[in-house]
Structure 1
Amino acid sequence: MLQRWTAGRFLRLPRFARFDLTPEALNKRIPQRRLLSTTKSPNAELAPLRKQLKDAARADRTARHAGVKATCTSKAETLSQWELTVGIEIHAQLNTSVKLFSYASAEYNEHPNASSWPFDLAVPGSQPLFQPAVLVPALRAALALKCQIQSRSKFDRKHYFYHDQPAGYQITQFYEPFAKDGRLVLTPQDGLGHKDDDTIEVGIKQIQLEQDTARTQEQDEHTSLIDFNRSGHALIEIISLPHLHSPEAAAAYVRKVQSILHAVDATTTGMELGGLRADVNVSVRRTDDRSARHSYSGVTGLGQRTEIKNLSSFKAVEDAVRAERDRQISVLEAGGVVEGETRGWSLSSPGITRRLRGKEGEVDYRYMPDPDISPLYIDESLVTHFQRTLPPVPEQLLDMLCTTYGLTIDDSRALLSLDDGTRLLYYQDVVSRLYTDTAQPRPSVQAANWVLHELGALLTTASTVWSPDLVDAQQMADLIVLQRENKITGPSAKRLLRILFDGDKSSVAEIVRREDLLFISMTNEEYDELAARVIGEHQAEADAVRQGGKRSSGKLKFLLGQMMRHGGRNRVQAQKAEEVLQSKLKPNDV
C-alpha cells in the first residue's frame, strides 16, 4: 500500500522533522557558541533559523581571521612553512540495473518514488535481499585500482538520523570490506602541481559496498521533498590513504579515479551528472613540527583534520582543499586550534568552507554488524575471470594510441577524454575499416585528423552534440581512402565531409560522382604552363619569393592559391603545385 501511495509523488516532510532544533536544544548541544537567542523581543519577530546560523558562521569566520593579516607576510612564504595532507573518500554509483538490496530499478526515472521497493523506504518488516549483479562493476573497479579482493566480507550498519535515510542507518562495509590495499600512480600528465613530485603513488586503504541515500529537494524554508528513487542504489566508497599534499594533486586523483571507473564500465556517469561525489579530509602541520599526534587511516604525525563533504566537481575539490588549507593555517598562525569537524563547500560562497557539525567518529556512528545480511563470499575463480577480461584503463589506452596508432600525446588525450570515450570507439571503428590487407599500413594519423579536427570543427560550428551516427564510420573511412589515394583533393574532401555531416546517407562514391568531386590530375606540362602564367601575372609576389625573407612564405602561399583557382576544378594538387612553383622561383631564376 505504501509503495502504491508514493509512486510518482514526492514524500512531503517538514524539514528537520526528526530533530529537535529549537534554540534551547541547539544551545544545549553547542554551549560554547550560544548561536541562538532563547528570548524573543515582543516587538520583533525571531529571525529564521537559517539566517541565525549564517550570521553566526559569518561572525565566527571574522573572529578567526581577525589577527591573521598582521602576523602573516607573503602567502608563498607562509605556505612554505606548512605541510598540507589530504585523504579522499570517493562515492561512485555503480553501473547496475537493480539496487543493492532490492529488485527496484536503478535506472533514472523522472517520476519521484517510482523506483522504490518497501526496503528502500524502510517499511517495517521488509528485508534486504543482496543482488549479486552489483559485484560485476564493483570487482572491475577494485581490480582496476589494483586492490586485493577479499574472499569474505561483511555488511555493517552505520547509524545516523536524517530524513534521506528513513531506517536510521546506512548499510555499508566498515570493518570487513570486499577490497583492500590498492594503489594509483599520478604523473605530471594527470595534472599535478608544479611543486608536486614527478610521480605520486596514492595508497587506497579499502573499497566498500554501501547504499546511496534518497534525494532531497528543498521546496521552501519549512519543507523538503524526498525522492526515494536513488535510495538503495549500489555505491562503492573508495578510501584513499593521506598521501596527497597539494590541491592540484587532490583534483588529479579524483579525475583519474573517475576516468578509470568509466574505462572499465564500473560507472555510467561522473561528477558532472552526480554519479560521483568526493569527501576530502584536510590537515596541516608546520614542516618542522615533529610533535603532531593526530592520525588518519594508520598514518600518524598529522595535524587535526577536518572533512569537507559532497564535492561534485574537480574544480570544487581543488578549490575546497586550497580554501581549507588557508583557513587552518590562518587559525594556527593566529594562535587558535583547529577543531575536528565536518565542513561544507558552496559555489555561492567561493573561497570559504563552513562548519556543518562536529566530526563524527566510529563511536558516534555506532557501527554494528547487520544481523539481516549474510557474509559475502567471492570465489577466486570469479576474481581471475574479471582480471582476465578487464577492459584497458586510460594509461594503457594512451600508450596504445601513441605507440600502435602513432598519434601525438595531445590527440591521444583528446580521443580519451571526448564524449565519454565514444569518440575513441568511433575512431577505432574508422581505422579498422580503412584497409583489410594486413601488409598495407592503416593511415591512423590521417584518420585522427579527420575524426578530431575536421569533424570536430563542424560540430563546433553547428553547435551539435556528438553522435557516431552523424557521419557513418564506413563513410568516413571511404572519404579518407579517396583522399589518401589522391582521387579527391583536400578541399573536395572537406566539402564531401560537410555533405555527409548534413545528413546525406548516400554512398561516398555516389556523392563524389553526383557532385563532380573526382580529381583528374594535370600533366607535368600543364603544371609548368599554369605556374608560368601565374608568375607572369604576379611579378611582384614572385620577386618577393625569389628574394626570400619574412614575406616570402606568405607570397608563395598567395601564388599557390592563384594556381588552385585558375587550374580548374578538382585538377590541381596542392603539393605538386607548390613543388613546381618553388622550382621556378629559385633565387638564381630569372
Structure 2
Amino acid sequence: MQQMLKDWELTVGIEIHAQLNTACKLFSHAATSINDEPNTHVAFFDVAIPGSLPKFQNATLIPALRAAIALGCQIQHISRFDRKHYFYHDQPAGYQLTQYYEPFAKNGCITLTEDDGIGRMDGKSVTIGIKQVQMEQDTAKSQEPDPETNLVDFNRAGQPLIEVISLPQIHSPETAAAYVRKIQAILLAVDAVTTGMEMGGLRADVNVSVRRRDGPLGNSEYSGITGLGQRTEIKNLSTLKGVEEAIKAERDRQISVLEAGGAVDGETRGWSLTAPTVTRRLRGKEGEVDYRYMPDPDIAPITIGADVIEYLAQTLPKLPNQLLTMLTEDKRYGLSMTDAKILLQLDDGERLEYYTAVVEKLNTICRDLEAEVDRGSTGQLAANWVMHELGSLLTRADRSWKETQVPSAKLASILANLMSKKITGNSAKQVLKLIFDGDGREVGAIIREEGLVYRPLSGEEYADLASKVMEQHNDKVKQIREKGQTGKLMFLVGQMMRAGEEGRVDAKEAESVLHRIILEEPAA
C-alpha cells in the first residue's frame, strides 16, 4: 500500500455543517432546543403547513457572521436563499432552504501547522481555501426504535446551520481531520456554535478523489478546480477519527478499483465505525440538476451593513491561535504548549473559561497574601488541578464537565490555602472532593471543622520520621546511594506521608529531608 500511495495523489474537499448558537430557528420564532420532549418546539412553517411562510430571523445572522469573519471570509453585503429540492421524510416541504448561488460569505482560508497535526507530506504548514460559507436550515431528526417503526422529531427542523465549504486543497487524511478540528475550535472560540462534533452539533461531508501522480490529468471538476479524479462523497461524519478513517478507506478503495482497470463512479457512500476500513455505496451522486436549485420567491434578499461587519470584527473573541499564545506567553498562565492545547480542546472550551476564572480569582487572593505566597506558579498549579485533579473526579463519578459543582472561586480558595501552606496537598484533595460531592461549606470552614489545618513537623520530627522509614526500607536506600536510582526517593516520601500524622507531612519537605540524609550526609 505504501508504494501505491506514492503513485497516487489524494484530493479531499470538505463541507462542514454546524448548528448556530441561536435562540430561535432560521425562519420561525420556535426555540432551537432539540433535547426537550419531541415535537414541542415546532412552528407551522417548520412542518410545511400549507399557507405558512418563512420569516427570516435577523438574530440568527450574528453568530454566522462571527464564524465567517473568523475564517477570513469576505462578507457579501447582499445574499439570497435558494430551494434545494429533494424528498425525504425529515424534510416535509420537499426542499431545503440554503444559499447556493449567493451565499453571505466567500473566499476565506485557514492555515494549519505542524502543531495542528497535519500530514507529514504537508511540511510545516498548509493553507486551505474556503470557497464559501452559507446559511441553511437543518432537517428533522429521525429515530428508528425498531425495524418496523420510523419516528420523526421536528424540534430540529429549521434550526439554523452554516455550511463551510472548502476548496479541494487537502491531500492527506491527517490534514483533513486537522482542518475539521481547527474549524470546530474557531467556531467554538467565537461563540458561533454551542457544541462540537462529539455532542452532535457539527457534521462533515468529505469529497474524495485520487489520480495518478505521473499520469494525465483527470476530467473531473470540483469547486472550479479541473484535472481531478472522479470524486465520491461520504456524508454525515460525526467524529474527527471518522473523518480520517473514512477518507483512508475510500482512498484505498478507489486506488484498488483503478489499479484493477476499473472506473470510479460518482456516488454517495457511507462509512461506519463498525466497519472502519470500507465504505459502502448508498446512492448515485446528486448534482446541481438533480437538486433543481431555484431562488426562493418568499424570502427577501438579506442585506448586511458595513457597520455591522466592522463592529463584529472589532469585538470578535480570541481565536485558538491567539488563545495558545496567551496561555503560553502571558505570565499569568505560563503553560507549556502541550498543556495549553489540551486545555483548549476540553469540553468545547468551557474548561478553559473555568481555568482562566480560577487563575484570576487565585491571583486576586494572592495579592492579599503577597508576603506568604510565591505567585510565579499560579497558572501552572491551577492548570494541574483543573485538568487533572478535578478531571479525575469527573471521570470516576462518570459526570460531564457541566455537572461539576465546584465553583471557580472555591477551587481558587483551596489553591491559595495550599500555596500559603495552610493545608497539605492531600488535605487540599480532601476539601476538593467534599465540595465536588456537594458540601456547601466555605473552604475555610471545611479546613477548620474537618481538622485539616496544616501543623508542620519540626526539622527534628522530619528527620526522625525519615530515619524510621529508611530503616524499614533499607533496600531502597541502598539502591539510591549505590546505584543512583533517585526515583526511589518518591517511594520513601509516600511511606513518610503514610507513617506521619494525617495532614502534617509536606511532600516537598519530606523529599528534601530524605535527599539530604541519603545523598548529602555520609552513610552511618
Give the TM-score of the pair, scaled to structure 1: 0.81
Equivalent position amino acid for 1:575 in 2: K
Q: 1:565 to 1:155 in 2, by over 3 A?
A: closer
Q: Is 2:477 the counterpart of 1:549? A: no
Matched, 1:258 2:184: yes
More displaced, 208-217 or 109-118?
109-118
Give 2:383's aligned residue: 448
1:215 correspondence with 2:160: no
Distance apart, 1:182 and its partner CA: 0.8
Alignment map for 1:89-100 (pairs within 5 Å): 89-100=15-26
1:539 deviates by 8.8
- Tell me: CA distance 1:466–1:166, structure 2 relative to 1, closer, same or farther (3 Å): closer
Instruction: Give 3-state SS (helix, strand or coil) of 1:317's partner.
Output: helix
- Which of 81, 99, 105 pairs up with 1:179? 105
Contact 2:14 2:165 in 1 (8 A): yes
Q: State whether residues 135 and 162 of structure 2, in contact with CA within 8 Å, keep that contact through their aligned partners in structure 1.
A: yes
- Give matches, 1:414-493, under 5 Å: 414-436=342-364, 437=367, 441=376, 443-467=378-402, 469-493=404-428
| Residue aligning to 1:584 | 517
Compared with structure 1, are the counterparts of its residues 167 and 580 closer, same or farther at alpha carbon in structure 2 (3 Å cutoff)?
Answer: closer
Query: Hey, what does 1:354 align to over in structure 2?
Result: 280
Asked whether 1:162 is paired with 2:88, we answer yes
Residue 9 of structure 1 aligns with which residue?
none
**CA drift at 1:288:** 0.7
Identity among equivalent positions (%) equals: 57
Distance 1:505 1:361, change over 3 A: same
**Partner residue, 2:261:** 335
Structure 2 distance, partners of 1:504, 1:346, is 44
In structure 1, give the amino acid aligned to 2:511: E
CA distance in 1, matches of 2:46, 2:479: 78
**Which amino acid is the alignment partner of residue 342 of structure 2?**
A
1:276 shift after superposition: 1.7
**Equivalent of 1:121, from 34, 38, 47?**
47
Q: How does 1:11-410 map to 2 (within 5 A)?
A: 75-108=1-34, 110-218=36-144, 224-404=150-330, 405-410=333-338
Cα distance in 1 for residues equivalent to 2:146 and 2:510: 71
1:64-97 Cα distance to aligned partner (Å, 9 max, x none): xxxxxxxxxxx11111100000001111111112
Residue equivalent to 2:507: 574
RMSD of aligned Cα (Å): 2.6
Q: 1:541 to 1:321 in 2, by over 3 A?
A: closer
SS in 2 for 1:200: strand
Q: Post-superposition shift, 1:354?
A: 2.4
- CA distance 1:365–1:531, shift in 2 (3 Å): closer
1:416-449 CA deviation, whole Å, 9 max, x = no partner? 2222222222211111111323986561111111
Paired letter, 1:573:
D
1:40 alignment counterpart: none
Q: Unpaired runs of 5+ in structure 2?
A: none
**Is 1:411–2:342 an aligned residue pair?**
no
Partner Cα separation in structure 2 for residue 565 and residue 164 of structure 1: 62
Q: 1:410 to 1:468 in 2, by over 3 A?
A: farther
Q: Deviations over 1:255-303 (max 9, x none)?
A: 2212221221111222233322211111100001233232211112111
CA distance in 2, matches of 1:578, 1:362: 71
Instruction: Please list every run of 5 or more consecutive structure 1 residues that lacks an aligned counterpart in the other structure.
Output: 1-74
Q: 1:485 to 1:545 in 2, by over 3 A?
A: farther
SS of structure 2 residue aligned to 1:232? coil
Any conservation in 1 of the 2:235–2:269 contact (CA below 8 Å)? yes
User: What is the TM-score of this pair, normalised by structure 2?
Assistant: 0.90
Over 3 Å counting, the alpha-carbon distance change for 1:493 and 1:231 in structure 2 is closer
Q: Which residue of 2 aligns with 1:69?
A: none
Q: Whose Rg is larger?
A: 1
